[in-house]
Homo-oligomer: A and B are copies of this chain.
Amino acid sequence: MTLQIGEANFQYQLLLQNQIKLQGLFLAGFDLKSYLKKKRMDVDKALDALLPNPDGLHATLLEAMRYSVMAGGKRLRPVLVLAAAEAVGGSQSEAMPAACALEFIHTYSLIHDDLPAMDDDDLRRGRPTCHIAFGEAMAILAGDGLLTFAFEVLAGMAAQGKMEPSKSAQVISTLAKAAGINGMVGGQAADVLMENMEINAEQLSFIHEHKTGALIKASVEIGGIIGGASREGLDALSRYGAALGLAFQIVDDLLDIEGDEEVLGKPVGSDIEKRKATYPALFGMEESREKARSYVDAALSALHFLDSKAEPLRAIARYVIERNR
């Protein structure tokens, strides 16, 4: 009996060692930096191709949209769409228009957030914000245009026979919910309404889950839908996305305090100056770091039954923490 348990334990240890060895090899073999660079280049190319060139009586509008979308940035949301699609066996080419749609929505939210009536920011990614460069009216319209264009691109896929209509409806529904009043816009409204107020942990969670979390989660879910994920796979991706979104936001809050202005593209401490609700303000630096780590762990464990095709998603989750070093 003892021997059997010992034997079983021995076999298990062996298995574990092999797994760790394999994982080590794999990790050593997976170069996230190159992966992200390649995906970003592909996304940038697709964004450039989708965006209309400035022409006609409304050329300045198209120019303002292009100015803001092509300002660079991490392209986190589109990369997540592609990585999630590929994690469940889908193709980059089918997922790319949706990846671009996510970036259009993200960019519109930045343009409107930067407006004088909102955060009143003059700089974004080291360049004048859209309303500084093109005027406030054009910035409002560029945001409206990008938001609408995202849905035009997605619905166009189905209308042109490039995506199953039922898939398209699911993608559009997921995106609209995540970007709208029960998602990003709702979170932004709560943030505006509670500025300069003492808020509690529950209120902070609401803001972050909605304002940034919802769209990050939706990116992963949309990739999964397009990639043809099973119900179980979609559920795993959804939990991964939710945890990743929260980890990302906490690290963003931390970077605002301890980060490098050049890396951030905005003045360090700008959240504090505006008395914005942040994790460090509520929980302190160390507990915030701990929370971020535990969300990354949750994100990784959500993916436990996916195979090596999910490695980019795992590496992205780990990278979120590494950004903060």
Chain A residues packing against B (C-beta within 8 Å): 52, 56-58, 60-62, 65, 108, 112, 115, 117-118, 135-138, 140-141, 143-145, 147-149, 151-152, 154-156, 158-159, 164-166, 168-170, 172-173, 175-177, 179-182, 185-190, 192-194, 203, 206-207, 210
**In the complex, A203 Cα to B147 Cα: how many Å?**
26
The answer to whether B148 touches A181 (Cβ under 8 A) is yes
**In the complex, A182 Cα to B57 Cα: how many Å?**
11
The answer to whether A118 touches B140 (Cβ under 8 A) is yes
The answer to whether B189 touches A173 (Cβ under 8 A) is no
The answer to whether B189 touches A138 (Cβ under 8 A) is yes
Selected contact of A181 from candidates B52, B112, B117, B155, CB within 8 Å:
B52
Copy number of this protein in the oligomer? 2
* A contact face: mostly helix, strand, loop, or mixed: helix
Residues of B within 8 A of A60 (CB): 189, 193
Q: What residue of chain B has the Cβ atom nearest to residue A164's Cβ?
A: B165
Given the known interface contacts A176-B148, A187-B58, the answer about A165 and B169 at a Cβ–Cβ threshold of 8 Å is yes
A-B pairs, top 7 by smallest CB distance, nearest first, are A158-B169, A165-B165, A117-B136, A148-B180, A152-B176, A61-B189, A155-B173
Q: What residue of chain B has the Cβ atom nearest to residue A52's Cβ?
A: B181
